[in-house]
Chain A
Amino acid sequence: MAAHRGGSGGEGWFPALAVGVTLLKLLLIPTYHSTDFEVHRNWLAITHSLPVSQWYYEATSQWTLDYPPFFAWFEYVLSHVAKYFDREMLVIQNLDYSNDKTVLFQRLSVIFTDVLFIYAAHECCKCVNRKQSGKDILESPPFVIAVLLLWNFGLLIVDHIHFQYNGFLFGLMLLSIARLFQKRHLEGAFLFAVLLHFKHIYLYVAPAYGVFLLRSYCFTANNPDGSVRWRSFSFLRFAALGLIVSLVSALSLGPFIAWGQLPQVVSRLFPFKRGLCHAYWAPNFWAVYNALDKALAIIGLKYRFLEPTRMSKASMTGGLVQEFQHTVLPSVTPLATLICTAVSILPSVFCLWFKPQGPRGFLQCLVLCSLSSFMFGWHVHEKAILLAILPLSLLSVERSRDASIYLILSTTGHLSLFPLLFTAPELPIKILLMLLFTVYSFSSLKAIFRKEGPLLNWLETIYLTGLIPLEIFCEIVFPFTPWMLKFPFLPLLLTSVYCALGIMYSWLKLYISVFTGPPAIRQKEE
Chain B
Amino acid sequence: MEKWSLMAIAALLGLTIRWTVSLGSYSGAGKPPLYGDYEAQRHWQEVTYNLPVKQWYFNTSDNNLQYWGLDYPPLTAYHSLLCAYVAKLINPSWIALHTSRGHESQPHKLFMRATVLVADLLIYIPAVILYCCYLRETSTKKKIATALCILLYPGLILIDYGHFQYNSVSLGFALWGVLCLSCDLNLLGSVAFCLAINYKQMELYHSLPFFCYLLGKCFKKGLMGKGLLLLIKLGSIVVVSFAVCWLPFCSEVEQILQVLRRLFPVDRGLFEDKVANIWCTLSVLIKIKTVLSSQTQFKLSFALTFLSLLPCCIKLTLQPSLKGFKYALVSCALSFFLFSFQVHEKSILLVSIPVCLVINEIPFMSTWFLLVSTFSMLPLLLKDGLLLSYIVTTLAFFTVCIASFSIFEKTSEDDLQLKTFSSSLRRYIPWFRTFPNLMKSAFLVSITLMGILTLMSATLDPPKKLPDLFPLAVSAVSCLHFLFFLLYFNVITIWELRDSRNQKKSN
Interface positions of A (Cβ within 8 A of B)? 1-8, 12-13, 16, 19-20, 23-24, 26-31, 136, 138-139, 424-425, 428-429, 432-433, 435-436, 439-440, 442-444, 446-447
Chain A residues within an 8 Å CB radius of B19: 428-429, 432
Q: Which of A5, A29, A30 contacts B148 (CB 8 A)?
A: A5
A32: nearest chain-B partner, CB-CB: B23
A23 touches B406 (CB 8 A): no
A3 CA to B403 CA, complexed, in Å: 5
A425 CA to B23 CA, complexed, in Å: 7
Chain A residues within an 8 Å CB radius of B429: none
A414 CA to B145 CA, complexed, in Å: 28
A443 touches B20 (CB 8 A): no
A433 CA to B15 CA, complexed, in Å: 10
Can you name 19 extra interface pairs (CB under 8 A) apart from A6-B406, A27-B392? Answer: A2-B152, A2-B403, A3-B403, A4-B403, A5-B148, A5-B403, A6-B403, A7-B141, A7-B406, A13-B403, A16-B399, A16-B403, A24-B20, A26-B388, A27-B389, A428-B19, A428-B117, A432-B15, A443-B6
A446 CA to B12 CA, complexed, in Å: 20
A443 CA to B5 CA, complexed, in Å: 7
Chain B residues within an 8 Å CB radius of A435: 8, 12
B111: nearest chain-A partner, CB-CB: A424
Chain A residues within an 8 Å CB radius of B107: 424
A429 touches B9 (CB 8 A): no
A12 touches B403 (CB 8 A): yes
Chain B residues within an 8 Å CB radius of A447: 1-2
Q: Which of A16, A24, A26, A442 contacts B16 (CB 8 A)?
A: A24
Is B207's beta carbon under 8 Å from chain A?
Answer: no
User: What are 12 A-B pairs at a CB distance below 8 A?
Assistant: A2-B399, A3-B399, A3-B404, A5-B404, A6-B403, A19-B395, A26-B388, A30-B23, A429-B19, A432-B19, A439-B12, A443-B5
A24 CA to B15 CA, complexed, in Å: 12
B110 touches A2 (CB 8 A): no
Chain A residues within an 8 Å CB radius of B141: 5, 7
Q: Which of A1, A28, A442 contacts B13 (CB 8 A)?
A: A1
In the complex, how many residue pairs between chain A and chain B have their CB atoms under 8 Å apart?
Answer: 103
A28 touches B9 (CB 8 A): no
Nearest CB of chain B from residue A145's CB, rounded to whole Å: 15
A2 CA to B399 CA, complexed, in Å: 8
A440 CA to B12 CA, complexed, in Å: 11
B392 touches A26 (CB 8 A): yes
Nearest CB of chain B from residue A28's CB, rounded to whole Å: 6
Chain B residues within an 8 Å CB radius of A6: 403-404, 406
Nearest CB of chain B from residue A103's CB, rounded to whole Å: 12
Residues of B within 8 Å of A, CB-based: how many? 38
A425 touches B110 (CB 8 A): yes
Nearest CB of chain B from residue A219's CB, rounded to whole Å: 43
B405 touches A7 (CB 8 A): yes
B16 touches A429 (CB 8 A): yes
Q: Which of A1, A23, A442 contacts B392 (CB 8 A)?
A: A23
A23 touches B396 (CB 8 A): yes
B2: nearest chain-A partner, CB-CB: A443
Contact with A along B374-406 (1 / 0, CB 8 A): 000000000000001100110110011011111
Identify which of B1, B24, B392 gathers the most chain A CB atoms within 10 Å of its CB. B1
A139 CA to B6 CA, complexed, in Å: 12
B1 touches A19 (CB 8 A): no
Chain B residues within an 8 Å CB radius of A446: 1
A1 CA to B9 CA, complexed, in Å: 8
Chain B residues within an 8 Å CB radius of A27: 17, 20-21, 389, 392-393
Chain B residues within an 8 Å CB radius of A138: 1, 6
Is B230's beta carbon under 8 Å from chain A?
Answer: no
Identify which of B21, B152, B404 gathers the most chain A CB atoms within 10 Å of its CB. B404
